[in-house]
Chain A
Amino acid sequence: KAGVTQTPRYLIKTRGQQVTLSCSPISGHRSVSWYQQTPGQGLQFLFEYFSETQRNKGNFPGRFSGRQFSNSRSEMNVSTLELGDSALYLCASSVGTGGAFSNSPLHFGNGTRLTVT
């Protein structure tokens, strides 16, 4: 079974540009979530989608947005890039939506390394 696939693996952009990152979840997984990882802040939650609907959103500015398609694939977009947006962006998928009786761990992709110059 193929794992979570993120493209591209590496990306270099300049300040002010925008970027779109893509995530293909494991087949059959309907929940996709996005995280930003930096050395200083660690892993921070961006947003979570289930069946094309955003279920939760982290504390990030409106420049960060995402969407999920009917085939569960997801994209996230960052507009007007800033130097501080340089990070590893990780996508994760799971079978269910989590919750009190969840036994569905998250499966992560290898991430997209974004460098903003």
Chain B
Amino acid sequence: KQEVTQIPAALSVPEGENLVLNCSFTDSAIYNLQWFRQDPGKGLTSLLLIQSSQREQTSGRLNASLDKSSGRSTLYIAASQPGDSATYLCAVEQAGTALIFGKGTTLSVSS
């Protein structure tokens, strides 16, 4: 059974710092891995999708990497801003099921 883990559960950083969020999964037979952002009381916003054949994806200040063999993904946020404060979730898609989510990392960026 696939399990997705995100560490740390919460993170506080000062504005301008570069940071890395971690995601690990137990079954490497995945179709893709997706990173989402969730603001309080809102739905999820898709940030990046990495197909299983890819190693990384970039969007603006965000870079996500995928190492399928070791069951790990990282989300790198450059030059963090207070507006980046949110909960970040990773999820994997595999055959026979929809997305399986981790429980997220809650990020707080102080000005």
Whether, in the assembled complex, B49 has its beta carbon less than 8 Å from a beta carbon of chain A, the answer is: yes
The reply to whether B52 and A106 contact each other, CB–CB distance below 8 Å, is no
The CA-CA distance from A35 to B101 in the complex, in Å, is: 10
Task: Give the chain A neighbours of B41 by CB distance below 8 A.
Answer: 110, 113
Whether, in the assembled complex, B99 has its beta carbon less than 8 Å from a beta carbon of chain A, the answer is: yes
- Chain B CB within 10 Å — which of A58, A90, A98 has the most? A98
What is the size, in residues, of chain A's interface with B at 8 Å between Cβ atoms? Answer: 26
The CA-CA distance from A44 to B101 in the complex, in Å, is: 7
What is the size, in residues, of chain B's interface with A at 8 Å between Cβ atoms? Answer: 25
The reply to whether B31 and A98 contact each other, CB–CB distance below 8 Å, is yes
Do A42 and B104 form a contact, CB below 8 Å, given A98-B31, A102-B51? Answer: yes
Stretch with Cβ within 8 A of A (4 or more), from B13-21, B76-84, B89-97: B89-97
Q: Can you pick out 29 interface pairs between chain A and chain B where the beta carbons lie within 8 Å of each other? A: A4-B43, A33-B98, A42-B101, A42-B102, A43-B89, A43-B91, A44-B101, A45-B100, A56-B96, A58-B98, A90-B44, A99-B31, A100-B31, A100-B51, A100-B52, A102-B31, A105-B34, A105-B46, A106-B34, A106-B46, A106-B99, A107-B46, A108-B36, A108-B43, A108-B44, A108-B45, A108-B46, A110-B41, A110-B42
Known pairs A100-B31, A102-B32 / 10 extra A-B pairs, C-beta < 8 Å? A43-B91, A43-B99, A45-B99, A56-B98, A92-B44, A99-B93, A101-B51, A102-B31, A106-B44, A110-B43
